[in-house]
Structures are given as structure tokens and as C-alpha cells.
Amino acid sequence: MSLYRTELRRLAKRRFTRYMSLLGLLVLAAVVIGVFFTNEKIGADQLARAERQAEQNYQEQVTWAKEARASCEQAKSAGTANDGRYPEDCSVITPPPRDQIQAEWFLPSTFNFRETFAETLIPFAAILALVGFVVGASFIGAEWSTGGMMNLLLWRPKRLTVLLTKLAALLTGILAVTLPAAVLWFAGFWAVASFRGSTEKMTSGVWQSFALTGLRGVVLVLVLTTVGFALASLGRHTAMALGGVVAVMVVGQFGLGILLSMASVRFAEAWLLPTYALAWMTKKVTLQDWNSCNANYSGECEPNTFDITWQQSSVLLSVGVVVILGAALWAMRRRDIS
């Protein structure tokens, strides 16, 4: 009997795997449904309503300006205009020009597929990465805590082969969930844009960019799944992975962020892992140091910037996987199985 097929079957039959995957897919579906009902397609009726609201807002500004000017002139006549509430010249209290109050401000939210879809791939990858991490940790952690790993090694004593086969089956199962979910995610938001927004100006280059971003999201899911699996195997318990990520995110990242902020470290976000995950998905994150000032030709003050690219993030992700998985393999080979 093939060990790989056996592990695939075991992964698919675990209730925790099914429930966690279903929960993740339901959350994704809820996001799509929520976006559908919170957006509208912009038509003549919506434009006319926005124009009316803009005009109403302008009239309110005119009324306010008249009342404020009258109050200013009354206070000036009473000799109390110099208390700081009003300017020296009451005539400067005027409403804004009509063209400054734009109808676009009052339009309802609409989903533009070209401009907005790339942003939706970030929560998609984050949700499925969380599912993959927890499922991966539970898959191998349960084997250690229940004694299943020891029983398996009795008839298949090649430790590294067993562990890597389990990992391969896990990644295959996660990929089998992630790829169809990605297709449905694309289709769902295309439907949202078709009925509640716009699908205009979609070119082959835009589709290619979305596909590459989606591919990076899938890679991120597989990476975090591997990390969860390796941490649980290293500690021989699911709690090792879950406790480790809580320690890293809460103690390490949150505490480190506060410490760096108190120390006024430049570009403190560059030391935080979520910044690199975001850079991996968006291709580049630009950090700004607001404590610095670079005057441009117009005399405006611009902060120093620091770019974190997806290439830098890929190095961090690769090193992290190699170190954590390598430690799990080393521990599997060196430690006693008992």
C-alpha cells in the first residue's frame, strides 16, 4: 500500500481538517457576499442622487456662512469680536465654491474589478494560510500525541521518508482546497463587479498581474502550512505550533513593535514579519520616516522612505522554511521515538 495515498486518505478523513477547511471557505464566501451587498452599480439614478446631495450640501454651507457672518458682525458691533471666535474681517466668512463640492463624494460604493480585485487577494491568502497552518499543525501533532507516529514507524522505519511523505500529502490536500477556492474567488468577484460595479478596462496585462498575485498567495499558503507542520513535528504536539505562533506574533511582533516605537527606531515596520508578508503579496511596501524631512523644489517637506520588495520577502520566507523544516527533520532523525 502506498504511504502517500494512505496519508492523503487519512488527511481527508480527519474531522478537524474537514471542519477547518469548511470554516475557511465559509469565511471567504461571507466576504464575497458582504462585498456584493455593500456595493452598487453606478447608473443615471445614482449620479442624479449624488448631484442632489452635493447641491444640498452646498446650500447647507451657504446657510452656515450667512449665519456665521451675521454672528460675526453682531459680535463686532457689540465689541466682543476680538475674543478669538471670529476673524478681523467678517467678509472672509464665505461658503466654498460650488465646484469644490463634488458629486463623486456622494456616490455609493461600487466595485471596480480592475482597481480593487488585487486588494481582495490579501485576505484570501491570509484566511487560507491560517487554515493551512492550523490543519498542518494538527495533522502531524495528533500523530505524535496519540502514538500514531510510533506505530507507523514500526512497519515503515525510514523516519525522514515518513515525515516528508506526510508533508507532501498535507501540501497536496491544501493545494486541492486552495486552487478551486482561488478560481471561485475570481469568479465570485467577477460576478460582484458585473452586477455591483464595473469590469471595464480589463487587459491581458491586468489579468497576468492578478494571476501572479494569486500565485504568490498560493505560495504563501503552502509556506505557512509547512511552517505549522514543521513546528508541530519539532515539538511533537499541536500546541507547539500554536503556542509558537502566539509567542512570535504577540510577544515578539507586538512587543517588538512597541519597543522599537519607544526607541524611535527608523522604519520600525521593517523588523515586523507582517510587513514582509504584505510586501510578498503587493510586490512592494514603502515605509516612511515622518521624523525626517527632505525639502523638495516647492519647499514641501517629504519623509525619508524605505522600500521592502517581494524579492526580499521571498528570501525571508525561504530561509524561514529551510530553517524550521530542517530543524524538524534533524529532530526526527536524531531523537528517540517514544
Q: Which DSSP string do the residues of 94-162 spell out, in sequence order?
A: -PPPGGGS-GGGGSPP-EEHHHHHHHHHHHHHHHHHHHHHHHHHHHHHHHHHHTHHHHHHHH---HHHH
pTM to 2 decimal places: 0.82
Separation CA 174–CA 131 (nearest Å): 9
> Of 148, 151, 46, 150, nearest to 105 (Cα)?
46
- Per-residue pLDDT at 337: 55
Q: Between residues 233 and 84, which one has the greater pLDDT?
A: 233
Non-local (6+) Cβ contacts of 123 within 8 A are 31
pLDDT band at 117 (very low <50, low <70, confident <90, very high): very high
> Of 280, 20, 5, 248, nearest to 132 (Cα)?
20
pLDDT band at 300 (very low <50, low <70, confident <90, very high): low
DSSP run (H or E) holding 77: helix 44-78
Non-local (6+) Cβ contacts of 332 within 8 A are 159, 160, 163, 233
Separation CA 169–CA 261 (nearest Å): 43
Q: What are phi and psi of 291, to 5 degrees?
A: -85, 0
- Per-residue pLDDT at 288: 81
The SS3 call for residue 302 is: strand
Amino acid, res. 338: S
Q: What are phi and psi of 97, to 5 degrees?
A: -60, 150
The domain ranges of the chain are 3-41+111-334, 44-106
Taking residues 69-95, what's their average pLDDT? Answer: 75
pLDDT for residue 81 is more than 60: no
Cell numbers for 295 = 525639502
Residues forming beta bridges with residue 288, ordered by sequence position = 305
pLDDT for residue 250 is more than 90: no
Taking residues 146-154, what's their average pLDDT? Answer: 70
- Per-residue pLDDT at 333: 79
Q: What percent of the chain has pLDDT over 90?
A: 41
| Range in 80-94, 189-203, 322-336 with the lowest mean pLDDT | 80-94
Separation CA 90–CA 76 (nearest Å): 9
pLDDT for residue 215 is more than 90: yes
pLDDT in tens, 309-318: 999 999 999 9
Q: What percent of the chain has pLDDT over 70?
A: 83
Separation CA 192–CA 108 (nearest Å): 15
pLDDT for residue 336 is more than 70: no
Taking residues 203-217, what's their average pLDDT? Answer: 94
- Per-residue pLDDT at 98: 82
Q: Residues 29, 32, 34, 38: what is their CA dihedral angle, to the nearest 10 degrees?
A: -170
Non-local (6+) Cβ contacts of 178 within 8 A are 128, 132, 218, 221, 222
pLDDT band at 241 (very low <50, low <70, confident <90, very high): low
Separation CA 47–CA 106 (nearest Å): 9
- Per-residue pLDDT at 247: 61
